[in-house]
Amino acid sequence: MTELKLGLVGFGKIARDQHLPALERNPSMELCAIASPSSTQDALPQFQSMEAMLDAMPELQAVALCVPPAVRYQLASEALARGLHVLLEKPPGATLHEVELLSRQAEAAGVTLFATWHSRFAPAVGPAREWLTGRTVRHVDVHWKEDVRVWHPGQDWIWEPGGMGVFDPGINGLSIVTAVLDHPFVLRDARLHVPENCQTPIAADLVFQAGGDTEMHAAFDFRQTGPQLWDIHVHTDDGKLTLSAGGSQMWVDGELIFEAPEREYEGIYERFAALVADNRSDVDVTPLRLVSDAFLLGRREHVDAFIE
Ligand code: NAP
């Protein structure tokens, strides 16, 4: 099997925790270099910018962009312009328009663009979709509540425009819902709780409608201490399905039906390799569209300043 020569761009928390080990285990990927302004590591050639990396290593065929969303468009566009395949961390961009432009650019260049949603690769997502097929959904509740100080230490970009605040994790919950249900959820109401010293919400309460009586409520909160919640409850006319622990477990009416070890990033790189081999792209902006609508329609309510 020919390995795809890949450069990692942005060597922060997710690149170290997930991309690096997943790439090590994937026989169809060869991680050749890293570009990040100030992070350091010893094992691979390292550059302070993607441009310097691509100039020095013309043999690279793909990049994985693990940078914050606000800086992603320029990097992705530059990589596509040089004929590289591009993997985007979630969310795929800071705006919908950016992602649409990248999609068109990738198509014109004949290269692969993969907008990843890692939570969709959680093990119980497929079984949940199967279980829900043919059942009538009455109500969906999403609880995505985590302690920002534990999971995003020192990530000041989250609080800046384009950083999305609590939607940075919340969009993962929405990426699962929109993968297991085909319902056309439309935002009806959004309350965004914005710390007085930040540009983005620390918590959000959303109400969506999906035709008829089907409603979805989503509660995102970065101020969660104690047990962390990444749960989705789907109430149907034939029982209640719960996806918990970010999509690792599936429960039906309180009984654990399915559980498997997490291997989201292994799944992501397997899919990337398959897309490149088939000369296809995969860019679904549905979760970003829902978040974008929350920023368009949401009522802002100021809350206490956030001090890390
Ligand atoms: P992070 O720890 O702040 O890392 C971001 C990295 O991007 C930093 O290492 C930074 O470089 C680098 N960077 C910034 N601008 C750059 C540029 N122009 N060129 C190259 N590198 C640049 O953030 P993260 O948690 O890894 O998150 C990154 C993305 O992954 C976000 O979109 C996030 O939603 C997504 N994600 C995060 C998690 C998670 O659990 N943290 C999970 C899944 C997905 P230096 O440090 O070198 O200055």
Ligand 1 pocket, residues with Cβ under 6 angstroms: 9-15, 35-39, 49-50, 66-69, 71, 89-90, 118, 151, 155, 168
What pLDDT, on the 0 to 100 scale, is given for residue 81?
98
Mean local confidence (pLDDT), 299-308: 96
Q: Where are the domains of the chain?
A: 4-118+264-283, 119-260+292-303
Task: Using the predicted structure, report yes or no on whether residue 139 has a pLDDT greater than 70.
Answer: yes
What pLDDT, on the 0 to 100 scale, is given for residue 211?
79
User: Which of these, 238, 262, 258, lies nearest to 249 by C-alpha position?
Assistant: 258
Secondary structure of 20-32 as H, E, C letters = HHHHHHCCCEEEE
Annotated active-site residue in 5, 90, 145, 240: 90
CATH topology classification for 119-260+292-303? Dihydrodipicolinate Reductase; domain 2 (3.30.360)
Crossing angle (nearest 10°) for helices 96-109 and 72-81: 10
Q: Where are the beta strands (DSSP E) in 27-84?
A: 29-35, 46-47, 62-65
Task: Using the predicted structure, report yes or no on whether residue 71 has a pLDDT greater than 90.
Answer: yes
What pLDDT, on the 0 to 100 scale, is given for residue 213?
83
Which tens digits make up the pLDDT trace of 235-256? 999 999 999 999 999 999 999 9
* Known catalytic membership, residue 5: no
What pLDDT, on the 0 to 100 scale, is given for residue 212?
78
Q: Whose CA is nearest to atom 36 of ligand 1?
A: 14
Q: How far apart are the first and last CA of the chain?
A: 47
- Residue 199 and residue 307 in contact, taking contact as beta carbons nearer than 8 Å: no
| Cis check: omega of the bond before 261, within 30 degrees of 0 | no
Which tens digits make up the pLDDT trace of 175-187? 999 999 999 999 9
User: Ligand 1 center to residue 48 CA distance, Å?
Assistant: 14
Task: Using the predicted structure, report yes or no on whether residue 11 has a pLDDT greater than 90.
Answer: yes
Instruction: Tell which atom from ligand 1 comes closest to the C-alpha of 67.
Output: 7
- Tell which one of 16, 19, 36 to mutate to probe ligand 1, the residue whose CB is within 8 A of the most ligand atoms: 36
Characterize the bridge pairing of strands 249-252 and 255-259: antiparallel
User: Ligand 1 center to residue 65 CA distance, Å?
Assistant: 8
What pLDDT, on the 0 to 100 scale, is given for residue 1?
59
Task: Using the predicted structure, report yes or no on whether residue 2 has a pLDDT greater than 90.
Answer: no
Mean local confidence (pLDDT), 285-305: 98
**CATH 3.40.50.720 holds for 4-118+264-283:** yes
Q: Whose CA is nearest to atom 46 of ligand 1?
A: 39
Q: What is the CA radius of gyration of the chain?
A: 19
Q: One-letter amino acid identity for 179? A: A
Helix (H) or strand (E) holding 113: strand 113-115
What pLDDT, on the 0 to 100 scale, is given for residue 171?
98
Sign of the Cα torsion 197, 198, 202, 204 reads positive
What pLDDT, on the 0 to 100 scale, is given for residue 40?
82
Residues in the chain: 308
Average of per-residue pLDDT values in the chain: 97
Mean local confidence (pLDDT), 81-96: 98
Instruction: Tell which atom from ligand 1 comes closest to the C-alpha of 38.
Output: 47
Which tens digits make up the pLDDT trace of 185-197? 999 999 999 999 9
3-class secondary-structure state, position 213 = coil
User: Which of these, 116, 70, 80, lies nearest to 101 by C-alpha position?
Assistant: 80
- Tell which one of 44, 51, 66, 146 to mutate to probe ligand 1, the residue whose CB is within 8 A of the most ligand atoms: 66
User: Ligand 1 center to residue 184 CA distance, Å?
Assistant: 31
Task: Using the predicted structure, report yes or no on whether residue 50 has a pLDDT greater than 80.
Answer: yes
Please tell me if the domain spanning 4-118+264-283 has the same topology as the one spanning 119-260+292-303: no
- Per-residue b/e over 23-61, b at no fewer than 16 CB within 10 Å? beebeebbbbbbbbeeeeeeeeebbeebeebbeeeeebb
- Looking at 117-131, 165-179, 203-217, 265-279, which range is the least confident one? 203-217
Compute the distance between CA of residue 207 and CA of residue 187 in angstroms, rounded to an integer. Answer: 6
Instruction: Tell which atom from ligand 1 comes closest to the C-alpha of 71.
Output: 18
